């Protein structure tokens, strides 16, 4: 239901096809649009509100405007297109505030409109392939759900706080990105002294290079039982 100080206004049977007619209401004479009455004589799509600047009655259909036509046209302002920097002139009484983009950039942006699928629920997500951002991974509902599952843990090497999600496939991370990178830089390989299998290890490990691969370790353990 539209908002504001609204009332239904009857439209007129005698607009003679013009679509405009001045009619009497409890607040005086007003000009209404009765194109939608279809000969019934009543237009239930029309409502009344007040201009927020001068208090004049405003008759509207779907969305209540903030200002009457006179106040809308009284003040013009300028802003800059956030894409190309072009100066945009707009009405200070506009319903939606300053425009973000000029007409050309709007058209260009719409031409770059694409869709992708949410990796969690598969919902279709519209986005703009303008190169500023990668395609979104999740829809707004799944983003909100994920944020609700956000937790923190500490890096086991440096103690830094690491944010993670409890619905993650891999559980809490053990190391922060800096320590992960440092560890990867220290990655080496050695050979199992029993079977010669290549074994990856980290040169900064507390215990030095491993002597045996996991398979040979298992064999050795079983032979001692």
- β 187-191/124-128 pair status: unpaired
Point out which residues pair with 161 in neighbouring strands. 154
Q: What is the pLDDT of residues 48-87, one digit of tens each?
A: 677 877 887 777 766 777 777 777 776 678 889 988 999 9
- Could you tell me where the DSSP H helices lie in 53-139? 69-74, 103-111
Q: What is the DSSP string of 29-42?
A: EEEEE-GGGTTSS-
Range 89-121 burial, b when 16+ CB lie within 10 A, else e: eeeebeeeeebebbeebeeeeeeeeeebebeee
Beta strands 20-25 and 198-202 are: unpaired
Question: 103-123 pLDDT, tens per residue?
Answer: 999 998 888 899 999 998 999
In the 8-state DSSP scheme, what is residue 136? P
Rounded to two decimals, the pTM is 0.41
DSSP 193: T
State residue 222's pLDDT score.
61
Residue with tokens 């800059």: 80
């Amino acid at each position: 239901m539209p908002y504001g100080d609204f009332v239904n206004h009857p439209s007129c049977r005698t607009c003679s096809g013009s679509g405009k007619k001045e009619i009497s209401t409890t607040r005086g004479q007003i000009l209404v649009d009765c194109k939608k009455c279809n000969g019934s004589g009543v237009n239930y799509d029309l409502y009344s509100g007040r201009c927020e600047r001068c208090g004049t009655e405003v008759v509207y259909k779907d969305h209540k405007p903030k200002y009457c036509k006179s106040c809308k046209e009284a003040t013009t302002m300028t802003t800059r297109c956030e894409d190309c920097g072009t100066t945009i002139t707009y009405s200070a009484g506009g319903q939606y505030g300053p425009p973000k983009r000029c007409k050309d950039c709007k058209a260009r942006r719409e031409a770059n409109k694409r869709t992708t699928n949410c990796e969690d629920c598969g919902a279709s997500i519209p986005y703009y392939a303008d190169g500023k951002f990668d395609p979104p991974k999740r829809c707004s509902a799944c983003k909100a759900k994920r944020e609700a599952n956000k937790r923190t843990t500490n890096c086991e090497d440096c103690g830094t706080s690491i944010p993670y999600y409890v619905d993650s496939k891999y559980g809490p991370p053990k190391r922060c990105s800096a320590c992960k990178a440092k560890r990867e830089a220290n990655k080496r390989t050695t050979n199992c002294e029993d079977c010669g299998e290549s074994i990856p290890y980290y040169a900064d490990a507390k215990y030095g290079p491993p002597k045996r691969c996991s398979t040979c370790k298992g064999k050795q353990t079983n032979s001692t039982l």
